[in-house]
Amino acid sequence: GSNYQVIGEEAAKQALRSALEEALQKTGIAFHDLELTVLGLAGADLEPDFEVLNKICLDLFGHQRFKILNDTWIGMKSAEPEFWGVTANCGTGGSYAGRTKDGREVILRNLSYELGNRGGGLDITVEALHYAFRSEEGTGSKTRLEAEIPPLFGFKNLSEMVKPLIGGKIDHDGIRQLPKLVFKLASEGDTVCQNILTELGQVMGEIAGGIAKRLDLTLIEFPMILMGSVFLDRSCPLLVDEFTTTIHKTAPYAKIKITNQRPVLGALQLALEEYAHQQ
């Protein structure tokens, strides 16, 4: 990833440089022939973020023209060529944005739970661990998560996981597998896992519905674009079902569109359109 908020400025610069070099190599385009580069970047949230990212990209591109966007916008463009509607992204984290046909835009801060954000695999992971430990301690409903989480991390039981979790020394591969485990167990009837997915779907539907309200889209049909690896998990439909039911309470004509289009295609389309417009 290239999110400087997560990996730091220097590592982000290196990640972007590698991506640029790879793209040039695969397309056979020389750097000096670039007319315009559109970058959809995670972490491009607030004005201070754009200041940091512009500095990074100035170091990379020099006098070559570039444009930085939040990665949510290029995802929208790749899924909806007319570039409008509401998007909810459920990957590692959650992000939301909306755009009308006449170009009015709303994008949320898309930062942390404390700042109003929800959605993504990490939210599912936190809930899975929470309810697994409650199951083990007898303070919540029993769930198969209690028995099935420890082996993902190479442990026999949850007690063995406590010290590594507190010390931040838990295996990241296991963390990445937890959302898939929740979907699997939900599809097999685990009530706790089912509730994790339906509760998240409800909250995400409420957030997306709020964007539809702000853009006056609640009484018309519009594309409601769902993207990100978590939405693409088809092993259990409860997350998408609850999202759909919830947003339809606010915007009954929202047309759900689950996309697996690569966001980079949106960046390419936006670059071509802007270049053509300037000729």
Confidence (pTM): 0.91
pLDDT score of 1 more than 90? no
User: Which of 159, 149, 154, 157 shows the shortest CA–CA distance to 185?
Assistant: 149
User: Which of 279, 264, 276 shows the shortest CA–CA distance to 27?
Assistant: 264
What per-residue confidence (pLDDT) applies to 33?
94
What per-residue confidence (pLDDT) applies to 104?
98
Phi, psi of 152 (to 5 degrees): -60, -25
What per-residue confidence (pLDDT) applies to 275?
85
Q: CA 229, 232, 233, 239 torsion: positive or negative?
A: positive
Pairing label, strands 66-70, 94-99: unpaired
pLDDT score of 278 more than 80? no
What per-residue confidence (pLDDT) applies to 191?
99
Residue 220 pLDDT level (bands cut at 50, 70, 90)? very high
For the chain, the domains span: 4-76+263-278, 82-260
Specify the 3-state DSSP secondary structure of 107: strand
Structure confidence by residue, pLDDT tens digits, 8-28: 999 999 999 999 999 999 999
CATH of domain 82-260: 3.30.420.40
Please tell me what DSSP assigns to residue 85: E
Tokens standing for 263?
Answer: 């966001």
Q: How far apart are CA 172 and CA 136, in angstroms?
A: 22
Residue 42 pLDDT level (bands cut at 50, 70, 90)? confident
User: Which of 6, 90, 102 shows the shortest CA–CA distance to 45?
Assistant: 6
Q: Are 30 and 7 in contact (CB under 8 A)?
A: no
H or E element in which residue 39 lies: strand 37-41
Tokens standing for 158?
Answer: 């949850």
